[in-house]
A and B are shown apart, each in its own frame.
Chain A
Amino acid sequence: MSMFDLAAVPPVTIAPGSLANVSRRFVLKGIVASGALVVGTGLAPHRALAGWATGADKMPGGTVYDPHVFVAIDPSGEVTILAARSEMGTGVRTSLPMVVADEMEADWSRVHVVQAPGDDKKYGNQNTDGSRSTRHFVQPMRQCGAAMRMMLERAAAVRWGIDPAQVRAENHVVVSLVSGERIGYGELAAAASALPTPPVGELKLKDPKDFRYIGTGTIPIVDLHDITTGHAGYGIDAKIPGMKFAVVARPPVVGGKLVSYDASEALKVPGVERVVEVQGWPWPHKFYPMGGVAVVARNTGSAIKGREKLRIQWEDGSNAGYDSAAYRKQLEATARQPGLVVREDGDAEAALKSAARVISAEYYIPHLAHASMEPPSATVHVAGGKCVAYAATQDAGGCRDDLAAMLKLPAADVTVYTPLLGGAFGRKSAYDFVLEAALVSQAVGAPIKLTWTREDDIRHDFYHVVSVERIDAGVDSGGKVLAWRHRSVAPTIFASFVKGADHESPVELGMGFIDNPFHIANLRCENGKAEAHTRLGWFRSVSNIPHAFAVQSMVGEIAAALGRDPKDMLLELIGPDRIVDPRQSAGVKDYWNYGDPPETYPIDTARLKRVAERAAQAAGWGKTLPKGEGLGIAAHRSFLSYVATVVHAKVDEHGRLSVPAVYTSIDCGFHINPERIRSQLEGAAVMGLALTKHSRITFKRGRVEQDNFDGFVVTRIDEAPLNVHVDIVPADWTVPAAGVGEPGMPPFAPALCNAIFTATGKRIRSLPIGDQLAI
């Protein structure tokens, strides 16, 4: 009996004569091969009920806890657990199966993790975005493990003819409390698999003090060995026998299209086999391809050489005038005018007029590219009314549905496997590259591995939004902040889906803007109009980046203007311990709390204050530093977690910036793997430094001006923060789990710029810093 529907996986073999060591991820081993017992099939899917309410069940597919779906035990006792969320570096492929293993009392050394194909209905939602994996799935996965444990215990009880209350599962065996007899999980697998899944109401979760793995931080990621030996299979490494290799030439301007092309020179390039047109969808394309010309060859290198020889005529379309310098001026002009009021407490206009002093500043952050080290890539075979895709996508379920719709196939005939993602950061939530590969495969009648070159990736990304934020703060004669008017002007990601969308959506407004936690009587948020002229997407922590940069920089500016300590100023603005509920404020419509109920995840200022205090304490806030060095602080709630960061910055006599140390404190509630939380926050400091110091995407004549790591500059080891101290606020099961992958990002840039101000007296308001510190 096959498991997990993996029998549908095409046999993956290597072309004759090659010496490839096929990645384990593409080979079915273990249970399937050995004919292991499936833990049942054909039962109605069991929906998971939550201990704390989340928004998980509003996502397509919701949540599933059924061990018949996620767990298999073979007769020798080897356990296989499915991971259904995409692994892009957060460690989720280890963490969630580890939760199942812990709850079912499995011995982790006998657990194998297999990646589930895309099927939201069967596995629950798979859109690995929004820092949701742990907070939406830790409960269903605990229930899954608990259900499996109870089924094993019940099977043992039947075998011994005793009451299930008289047996106990313990580290891969079930023990009889009557006789002391023990039976291994392998022996019980067949009987346990025949049992129905216990309903949630019957499940008994482990006492957290009995966790073996959860919370210990001692379990390395399951792919660690394979990663260090080159055997880990990423999306770009997938192999389908007989596959050809393709690259695509795409319109240089978003919304442009192909007029004509001449492939005669390209076809003369050795190794090039076919040149085909790729269908494009009208702007906004959503996740559909923008169209172009594909060159298909015996290897990717030949395809790239062939593409260089294409002669193509494009029509540029309506975005041909997109110019970043001009656009910035437009955004600034808009930010100097009143915008749509999206939150109003008190009367900020009047309070500003009567303020003893008004402190004003404008902040700018350009477009950014994700630039994951693995560029978009997919290997797809469309044949015989079926489609099989290996795709490095964050959203296997959505990808499958869109492939089915585009190819006009039933979803059941479309299979999407998600190998490891070589980084994603939001880019791979969009799966345009998978759809492109499917179109090329269909056109040439062969399996196709489509690779985006780095130039393709940098020029055709779903970019982070460019933004201008303006804040005017009114202070009374006693130095108290009475008024705060924040105008945010940025195109909306939704313009990539809905033609003409020109204001931030509730999702963007909810990311550190209208959810401002400050204790200010007159607080007004306005959103100005901004049209999008390129594809926009989710970039790790999304609109929190510009919003937090402005808000947390402004705190530093006010402190400087009033001669106050910046940390004290921050704590004063956060104000007394309380719950902030933006729904109580005038002007707030459709408040978005990261898709989760504010009742479970309120804005709790005590928690925000606590991380700020902990980070400051870890950094030795107040200590004397040499000339040219300084500490800066920022604290921000995003993805329902609270993060404060203190950056120690150093600017030498030549204006060269370095970051000797970073102190970050995160309160993400209940957590599974502290070791991976630390690595996420270490990484956020590196990526935060890149966007603060170097990175930008600019447009001229509608075209992106950067195309590789020479123009789009990211952090390298010689300037990276190598002393990132991460403090994780302890939290037990009573504190709902929150996000980790993204929340480390927003505080970094303002903390660094606040530190630079302390070190040099220079206030950075426009990112990247570039040569602004040059002397």
Chain B
Amino acid sequence: MITLQLNGEQHTYDGDPSVPLLWVLRDEFGLTGTKFGCGEGLCGACTVHLAGAAVRSCQIAAGDAAGKPIVTIEGLDPHGDHIVQRAWRETNAPQCGYCHAGQIMQAAALLAAHPKPTEAEVFATMAGNICRCGCYQRIAEAIHLAATGA
């Protein structure tokens, strides 16, 4: 039995703690905003914040996340109005939208660490998040918008 701090609430999981956090979030707690894309740390769809840092929830055993604050896309902002979320809407960034929870969580962590990231920092950080629909132009625009506070 482990206790997970999910979006500010304590929740217990009595299953195999070696299962990736991703599946515990999605299948055990119904937090399906966090997406499965590859299971190998290659696509970023599953990005959540663990103790404030962006991590791939498919690469972290649920047991290793126990006791640390976990924030998912559902908990990023109580009203969904984090500056990154607003910038995403402003630019109409999504196509199918599937990758965007991960993109937004990654971008939010980037801006928390580097409020005015350089293009190289944006590329280096966001290159871990695949968008097969190809929304990158809008994603770059949205990050720029969020960083410039527009």
Residues of A within 8 A of B (CB): 14-15, 18-23, 87-91, 220-221, 223-225, 227-234, 236-237, 239, 245, 269-271, 298-302, 304-305, 371-375, 420-425, 449, 451, 453-455, 675, 679-680, 682-687, 708-710, 714-718, 720-724
Q: Are A420 and B97 in contact (CB under 8 A)?
A: yes
B57 to chain A, nearest CB (A): 10
Q: Are A373 and B130 in contact (CB under 8 A)?
A: yes
Q: Are A19 and B35 in contact (CB under 8 A)?
A: no
Q: Are B42 and A88 in contact (CB under 8 A)?
A: no
Contact (A454, B37) CB under 8 Å given A230-B101, A718-B123: yes
A424 to chain B, nearest CB (A): 8
A375–B38 Cα distance when bound, in Å, is 9
Decide if B80 is an interface residue (CB 8 Å cutoff).
Answer: yes
B137: contacting residue among A232, A237, A304, A724, CB under 8 A: A724
B78 to chain A, nearest CB (A): 10
B132: contacting residue among A239, A371, A453, CB under 8 A: A371
Q: Which residues of B contact A709 (CB under 8 A)?
A: 38, 40, 42-43, 130
A689 nearest in chain B by CB position: B134
Q: Are B40 and A714 in contact (CB under 8 A)?
A: no
Q: Which residues of A contact B20 (CB under 8 A)?
A: 301
Q: Are B6 and A373 in contact (CB under 8 A)?
A: no
Q: Are A299 and B28 in contact (CB under 8 A)?
A: yes
A15–B32 Cα distance when bound, in Å, is 14
Q: Give 10 new A-B contacts, CB below 8 A, not counting A221-B92, A225-B80, A682-B134.
A: A300-B26, A300-B27, A375-B37, A422-B97, A675-B92, A679-B135, A708-B39, A717-B123, A718-B124, A722-B136
Q: Which residues of A contact B27 (CB under 8 A)?
A: 245, 298-301, 449
Q: Are A231 and B33 in contact (CB under 8 A)?
A: yes
Contact (A717, B42) CB under 8 Å given A88-B96, A373-B35, A373-B98: no
A210–B85 Cα distance when bound, in Å, is 33
Q: Are B85 and A228 in contact (CB under 8 A)?
A: yes
Decide if B112 is an interface residue (CB 8 Å cutoff).
Answer: no
Decide if B126 is an interface residue (CB 8 Å cutoff).
Answer: yes
Contact (A682, B97) CB under 8 Å given A228-B88, A230-B72, A373-B131: no
Q: Which residues of B contact A225 (CB under 8 A)?
A: 80, 89
Question: Of residues B38, B80, B96, which shows the largest number of chain A Cβ atoms within 10 Å of its Cβ?
Answer: B96
A237–B74 Cα distance when bound, in Å, is 14
Q: Are A687 and B39 in contact (CB under 8 A)?
A: no
A374: contacting residue among B98, B136, B137, B140, CB under 8 A: B98
Q: Which residues of B contact A455 (CB under 8 A)?
A: 39
Q: Which residues of B contact A304 (CB under 8 A)?
A: 39
Q: Which residues of B contact A87 (CB under 8 A)?
A: 96
Q: Are B30 and A239 in contact (CB under 8 A)?
A: yes
A549–B126 Cα distance when bound, in Å, is 31
Q: Are B123 and A224 in contact (CB under 8 A)?
A: no
B95: contacting residue among A220, A271, A683, CB under 8 A: A683
Q: Which residues of A contact B66 (CB under 8 A)?
A: none
Q: List 30 A-B contacts (CB under 8 A).
A: A15-B30, A21-B30, A23-B32, A89-B94, A225-B80, A227-B100, A228-B100, A229-B73, A230-B31, A230-B32, A234-B32, A234-B98, A236-B35, A271-B15, A299-B19, A299-B28, A301-B24, A373-B43, A373-B133, A422-B99, A423-B133, A424-B96, A682-B134, A683-B95, A708-B39, A715-B136, A717-B136, A720-B134, A722-B136, A722-B140
Decide if B138 is an interface residue (CB 8 Å cutoff).
Answer: yes
B38 nearest in chain A by CB position: A454
A14 nearest in chain B by CB position: B30
Which residues 121-150 of B have a CB within 8 angstroms of A? 122-124, 126-140
Q: Which residues of B contact A220 (CB under 8 A)?
A: 89, 92
Q: Are A229 and B80 in contact (CB under 8 A)?
A: yes
Chain A binding surface, main DSSP class: loop
Contact (A717, B132) CB under 8 Å given A228-B85, A708-B40: no
The 4 closest A-B pairs by CB, nearest first: A230-B33, A20-B30, A686-B134, A422-B98
Residues of B within 8 A of A (CB): 6-7, 9, 11, 15-16, 18-20, 22-24, 26-40, 42-43, 45, 72-74, 76, 80, 85, 88-89, 92, 94-101, 104, 122-124, 126-140
Contact (A720, B40) CB under 8 Å given A223-B97, A229-B33: no
Q: Which residues of B contact A685 (CB under 8 A)?
A: 134
A300: contacting residue among B23, B33, B132, CB under 8 A: B23
A749 to chain B, nearest CB (A): 14
A238 to chain B, nearest CB (A): 9
B20 nearest in chain A by CB position: A301
Q: Which residues of B contact A679 (CB under 8 A)?
A: 92, 95, 135, 138
A373: contacting residue among B22, B34, B99, CB under 8 A: B99
A537–B110 Cα distance when bound, in Å, is 39
A709–B38 Cα distance when bound, in Å, is 7
Q: Which residues of A contact B126 (CB under 8 A)?
A: 717-718
A269–B15 Cα distance when bound, in Å, is 11
B86 to chain A, nearest CB (A): 8
A228: contacting residue among B11, B80, B130, CB under 8 A: B80
Q: Are A714 and B132 in contact (CB under 8 A)?
A: yes
Question: Of residues A270, A451, A684, A722, which shows the largest number of chain B Cβ atoms within 10 Å of its Cβ?
Answer: A722
A374–B80 Cα distance when bound, in Å, is 23
A89: contacting residue among B19, B76, B97, B136, CB under 8 A: B97
A22–B30 Cα distance when bound, in Å, is 8
A723–B23 Cα distance when bound, in Å, is 37
A88–B89 Cα distance when bound, in Å, is 18
A90–B23 Cα distance when bound, in Å, is 29
A423 nearest in chain B by CB position: B96
Q: Are B29 and A20 in contact (CB under 8 A)?
A: yes
Q: Are A687 and B134 in contact (CB under 8 A)?
A: yes
A98 to chain B, nearest CB (A): 14
B17 nearest in chain A by CB position: A270
A26 nearest in chain B by CB position: B32
Q: Which residues of A contact B7 (CB under 8 A)?
A: 19
A224: contacting residue among B36, B39, B94, CB under 8 A: B94
Q: Are B95 and A89 in contact (CB under 8 A)?
A: yes
Q: Are B42 and A305 in contact (CB under 8 A)?
A: no
Q: Are B34 and A230 in contact (CB under 8 A)?
A: yes
Q: Are A231 and B74 in contact (CB under 8 A)?
A: yes
A34 to chain B, nearest CB (A): 25
Contact (A89, B96) CB under 8 Å given A708-B40, A720-B134, A720-B136: yes
B37 to chain A, nearest CB (A): 5
Q: Which residues of A contact B85 (CB under 8 A)?
A: 228-229
Q: Which residues of B contact A373 (CB under 8 A)?
A: 35, 37, 43, 45, 96, 98-99, 130-133
Contact (A716, B98) CB under 8 Å given A228-B89, A682-B135: no
B12 to chain A, nearest CB (A): 9
Q: Are A717 and B129 in contact (CB under 8 A)?
A: yes
Q: Which residues of A contact B23 (CB under 8 A)?
A: 245, 299-302
A506–B62 Cα distance when bound, in Å, is 53
Question: Of residues A15, A232, A236, A724, which shows the largest number of chain B Cβ atoms within 10 Å of its Cβ?
Answer: A232
Q: Which residues of A contact B89 (CB under 8 A)?
A: 220, 224-225, 228
Question: Of residues B24, B39, B133, which shows the largest number of chain A Cβ atoms within 10 Å of its Cβ?
Answer: B133
Q: Are A687 and B132 in contact (CB under 8 A)?
A: yes
A722: contacting residue among B22, B73, B100, B137, CB under 8 A: B137
Q: Which residues of A contact B32 (CB under 8 A)?
A: 20, 23, 230, 233-234, 236-237, 239
A454 nearest in chain B by CB position: B38
A421–B94 Cα distance when bound, in Å, is 13
B23 nearest in chain A by CB position: A301
Q: Are B133 and A227 in contact (CB under 8 A)?
A: no
